[in-house]
Structure 1
Amino acid sequence: MVDIFAALHNSEERQITFAVFQLEGAARSWWNVIRTKWEREQTPRTWVNFVREFNAKYFLPLIQEKKEDEFIRFRQGTQSVAEYESQFTRLAKFAPELIMTEQRRVRRFIQGLNVEIQKDLAVTQINTFSDVVDKALRAENARLQVRNFQVRKRGFFGGSSTQGDKSTPPKFGRGAGRGRVPGTARGTPPRGGQKGRGQQRSASQGSSATVSRGPCGFCGKPNHTEDNCWRKEKKCLRCGSTEHQIASCPVQP
């Protein structure tokens, strides 16, 4: 309502008439009592007198003190600078003595800003309230751009690292891809004249011992089938002979 009065340049008499027109119910009854009182005491019908009477009824000192404390404790927090300025202006009217001058208003506004923005404003020349709001908005925007650049930079290098890891083939233990004859040490040929159990079985079954087949349907062991299973054919499990069993095998392990 005050903003409307300022825009229309209304007289104080018209301001009071317009304000009273908005009152309803108990508020209208309250005004009828005040109007009678003014007529009896010959109180001037000014806007200042109306606001004083209105605040005495509907804006008690306790409520005003709470609003003033809220303004003193008010900080930017997670709000943007624009949101902080709007709330600051709304609460400032409840503590006019704290912002009586432009310098005090500017100082109070800066005190409520986040610390990082306060640091940016510490090295700038500020004369008016509009000036401090503009510089705070610019500082916030600059910090936001730096933060977005750092996020994009981390994402770029993080993606490159991932691609580099994918281009490196995995390794599966020592000696991966190298085959050797079972039962022998690395780089050591088998002893002459003696065939190990694994070598004899591989030769008789016609395949390399490193190739996995089976399991056998008779004994359940791998690397052979039921058709050439030594256990099924009752052969020696060490040398493959049908003349004796492994317990009496003359071939030394």
Structure 2
Amino acid sequence: MTNILARLVEQQGQAPVNQPRDPKMGQDIALEGFQKFSPPKFLGELDPEVAERWLETMINIFAALNYAEERLVQFVIFQFEGPARAWWNVIRAKWEREETAWTWLNFVREFNKKYLPPIVQEKRKDDFIKFRQGTLSVSEYETQFAKLSKFAPELIVTEQRRVRRFVQGINVKIQEALAAEQINTFTEVFEKVQRIEIARAKVKAFHTKRRGAPAGGQEQLYGDLGRPTS
């Protein structure tokens, strides 16, 4: 999950509107803010799907809170119960012995090692390599792209490679419409692809309406679109 987690760490330097980052915020106040999101408990299930969904939920909560890294680790372990708590006690002892920094990335590496074994991560990587838009909307495609890409960070190590991989997976008709565009960032390509999708949907809707319009209504249809009427 290196890609999405790296973005989360970057977000910590950008305070959200009306929520300035305060490293000295009291522990009780910070914990109260965390608990308002009703974070789910984790019991240590070995089902990779359960573990992955739980971690993604925590990532989304922490992205909104903008807390310091050490506090993220402190709060996430509050949600451990049963086998998960026992596992964390072992990891905490190892960290103290090896003087490992309490960073979010270190925590996630330990979590993935335990609950998302290599065989699962390899399967997700293969899914990402083969992933195509198909019948998905651009928004749905981007969401799934982001979810799978974290299992293959080496394939999107630069912004250019991330953009190229994203474009390779979208439908051919959109790729053709995008060919003449100059694109520098992922945000830019996503916005342009969305605009192309909207434009294509409008054209499709127009032709559908035109085919269904009665013969005497063609003039009005063209007139609505700004074309001269007879």
TM-score, normalised relative to structure 1 = 0.58
1:125 matches 2:185: no
Alignment of 1:28-39 (within 5 A): 28-39=85-96
Deviation at 1:6, TM superposition (A): 4.6
Identity across aligned pairs (percent)?
62
Structure 1 position 46, deviation (Å): 3.1
Q: Deviations over 1:179-217 (max 9, x none)?
A: xxxxxxxxxxxxxxxxxxxxxxxxxxxxxxxxxxxxxxx
Aligned amino acid, residue 35 of structure 1:
R
SS in 1 for 2:213: helix
The counterpart of 1:151, out of the listed 195, 208, 221, is 208
Alignment gaps of 5+ in structure 1 = 161-253
In the alignment, which residue of structure 2 is the partner of 1:90?
147
| Count of equivalent residues | 160
In structure 2, distance between residues paired with 1:142 and 1:101: 29
Distance 1:144 1:64, change over 3 A: same
Relative to structure 1, the CA distance from residue 143 to residue 60 in structure 2 (aligned partners, 3 Å threshold; closer, same or farther) is same
Stretches of 4+ aligned residues off by more than 4 angstroms: 157-160
Pairing of 1:22-33 with structure 2 (within 5 A): 22-33=79-90
Q: CA deviation at 1:105?
A: 0.8
Deviation at 1:7, TM superposition (A): 4.4
Change beyond 3 A, Cα 1:143–1:19: same
Q: Could you tell me how far 1:39 is from its partner in structure 2? A: 2.9
- For the pair shown, the structure with the greater C-alpha radius of gyration is 1
Q: Once the two structures are superposed, what CA deviation does each residue of 1:102-140 show, in whole Å capped at 9, x if it has no partner?
A: 111111111110110000000111111111111111111
In structure 1, distance between residues paired with 2:150 and 2:136: 20
Give 1:115's aligned residue. Answer: 172
Task: Return the alpha-carbon distance in structure 2 between the equivalents of residues 31 and 95 of structure 1.
Answer: 26
**1:3 Cα deviation from its structure 2 partner:** 4.5
Q: In the TM superposition, what whole-angstrom CA distance separates every residue of 1:138-175 from its partner, at most 9, and x where no partner exists? A: 11112122222222222236799xxxxxxxxxxxxxxx
Tell me whether 1:78 sits opposite 2:135 in the alignment.
yes
Q: What are the residue-to-residue correspondences of 1:198-213 with 2, within 5 Å?
A: none
RCO comparison, higher one (Cα < 8 Å, 6+): 2
Correspondence for 1:21 among 66, 78, 82: 78
Q: Which residue of 1 aligns with 2:43?
A: none
Structure-2 separation of matches of 1:74 and 1:158: 44
- 1:1-253 equivalent positions in 2, closer than 5 A: 1-156=58-213
User: What amino acid does structure 2 have at the position aligned with 1:98?
Assistant: L
Q: Please state which structure has a larger fraction of its residues in helix.
A: 2
Aligned to 1:183: none
How far did 1:4 drift? Answer: 4.0
With over 3 angstroms needed to count, the CA separation of the structure-2 counterparts of 1:31 and 1:139, relative to structure 1, is same
Aligned equivalents of 2:177, 2:104: Cα separation in 1: 43
1:66-114 Cα deviation digits (max 9, x unpaired): 1111111111111111111111112221211111111111111111101
